Each structure stands twice: as C-alpha cells, then as structure tokens.
C-alpha cells in the first residue's frame, strides 16, 4: 500500500479547519498532518511535516493564501498548493494560478470532489472550479498596476490621502494620481466605489 498523501490545512477559522480535517481524514489515502491559522505559518508547517499538498484559504491574517502559495512554490516546491475558499472571485483565481497554486475550489465543494481535487493536485494536475474559470475569462485580467493596487488596498481601510502616502512611501500628489487612475480603470465614480468593485472582482 502506498503512503497516504500528507495534508496541511491553513485557515484562520478553527471550525473550518477542523471540519475540513475531519472530512479529509475519512479518506484512506489522505492524512491531515498539520494545521495553520495564518498564511505566514504555512511554509514552516509544510517543511516540518513533509506535506504533499497544502489547502489554503485566501483571506488570512499576516500573509494571505495567495502569498502563501507563492512562498511554498519558492521554498517548499515539493508541497503543492490548493486554494479552498469561500471567496470565489475571478481575480483571486488568476492571481492564485500566477502565484503557483495548482488548484482553486470553493468551500461548498462536496467532500468527494474536494478529496478528488487533492489527489489530482498531488498527481501534478491543475484543478479549477469550472464556474469560476468561465467567470474569470469573462471578467478578464486586473486592469490595475501593482502601484494602483497597493494604493487602492490602503484606501480600503478608509485612510486619508496623507495616510495612504505615508503607508506607501509616496507623495500625496502621486497617491492622488494612482487613485484617479484606479477609479477610471474600474469605471467607478468614487474611491470607495473603486475599492468595492476591485474587491468584488478579486483584484485586491
């Protein structure tokens, strides 16, 4: 008999982590050997427990799941990343795949399909939620540059232009320019609307 596939589950909600672990541990060929409550703990946990596949939530404190997927690819390439999230946003899918994730599924995926997704990712295949793949193609890539995205991300906390400038080490004039560009590219009327649209599309 072959060794079970060793899994890491990273999610900041303990109940979700526990439920996923309980479901996947029922499968004879899968074994949850590590759990993490933040993205920043993923690399160390994957390395220490010789994990084969990491199931990552997107929105976690410190480092998000997409950043954690990129860190895994760079530092523990033997551990493949599978994004399992409530937030099925098209922009998240594209960013996750660009970061090196092998798969992207939503949390209401039936247990059997989730277990199958884990096996396929472990086998070197790419697994993507089909509805999200179609939506991602329809929405297209993010129109925002990295700078516009970082400024809009700071704007999402409700800070003033001066606050955003201090946080991003840019001048207030430059911040206004980036905000104006982001508002135009998202077809928004206000900064707050640009933030909302970008969040809904998974561009932030």
Q: How crowded is residue 120: how many other Cβ atoms within 10 Å of its Cβ?
A: 17
Q: Are 62 and 87 found together in one domain?
A: yes
- CATH number, residue 174: 1.10.10.10
Q: Are 120 and 151 found together in one domain?
A: no
Q: Are 123 and 171 found together in one domain?
A: no
**Mean pLDDT over all residues of the chain?**
91
Q: How crowded is residue 76: how many other Cβ atoms within 10 Å of its Cβ?
A: 20
Average pLDDT over residues 169-196: 92
- CATH number, residue 89: 3.40.50.2300
* Residues 164, 202: Cα–Cα separation, whole Å: 21
* Residues 23, 25: Cα–Cα separation, whole Å: 6
Query: What pLDDT, on the 0 to 100 scale, is given for residue 138?
Result: 61
Place of tokens 């939620």: 129
Residue ranges making up the domain that contains 43: 5-138
Q: Are 59 and 26 found together in one domain?
A: yes
Q: Count of alpha carbons within 13 Å of 181, Cβ hemisphere only? A: 16
* Residues 159, 167: Cα–Cα separation, whole Å: 10
Task: Give the model confidence (pLDDT) of 82-133 as tens digits.
Answer: 999 887 777 788 889 889 999 999 888 888 999 999 999 999 999 998 877 7
Task: Give the model confidence (pLDDT) of 32-59 as tens digits.
Answer: 999 999 999 999 999 999 999 999 999 8
Distances (CA, A) of 91 to 88, 108, 117, 134, 181: 9, 19, 21, 12, 19
pLDDT at 27 over 90: yes
Q: Are 93 and 41 found together in one domain?
A: yes
Number of folded domains in the chain? 2
Q: Count of alpha carbons within 13 Å of 47, Cβ hemisphere only? A: 13
Query: What pLDDT, on the 0 to 100 scale, is given for residue 199?
Result: 87
Q: Are 96 and 20 found together in one domain?
A: yes
pLDDT at 62 over 90: no
Q: How confident is the model at residue 1 (pLDDT cuts 50, 70, 90)?
A: low
Q: Are 152 and 191 found together in one domain?
A: yes
Q: Are 76 and 126 found together in one domain?
A: yes
Q: How confident is the model at residue 15 (pLDDT cuts 50, 70, 90)?
A: very high
Domain stop point among 114, 138, 162: 138
Q: Is the dihedral of CA 84, 108, 125, 3 positive or negative?
A: positive
Average pLDDT over residues 154-166: 91
Average pLDDT over residues 13-19: 93
pLDDT at 5 over 70: yes
């Amino acid at each position: 008999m072959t060794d079970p596939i060793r899994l890491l589950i990273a999610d900041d909600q303990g109940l979700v982590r526990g439920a996923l672990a309980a479901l996947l541990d029922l499968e004879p060929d899968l074994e949850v050997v590590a759990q993490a409550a933040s993205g920043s703990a993923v690399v160390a946990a994957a390395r220490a427990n010789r994990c084969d596949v990491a199931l990552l939530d997107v929105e976690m404190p410190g480092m998000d799941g997409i950043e954690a997927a990129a860190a895994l690819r760079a530092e523990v390439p033997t551990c493949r990343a599978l994004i399992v999230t409530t937030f099925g946003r098209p922009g998240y899918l594209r960013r996750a795949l660009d970061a090196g994730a092998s798969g992207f599924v939503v949390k209401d995926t039936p247990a059997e399909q989730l277990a199958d997704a884990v096996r396929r990712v472990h086998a070197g295949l790419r697994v993507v939620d089909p509805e999200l793949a179609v939506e991602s193609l329809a929405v297209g890539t993010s129109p925002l540059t990295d700078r516009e995205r970082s400024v809009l991300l700071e704007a999402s906390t409700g800070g003033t232009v001066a606050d955003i400038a201090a946080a991003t080490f840019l001048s207030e004039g430059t911040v206004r320019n980036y905000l104006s560009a982001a508002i135009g590219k998202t077809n928004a009327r206000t900064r707050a609307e640009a933030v909302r649209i970008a969040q809904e599309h998974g561009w932030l």
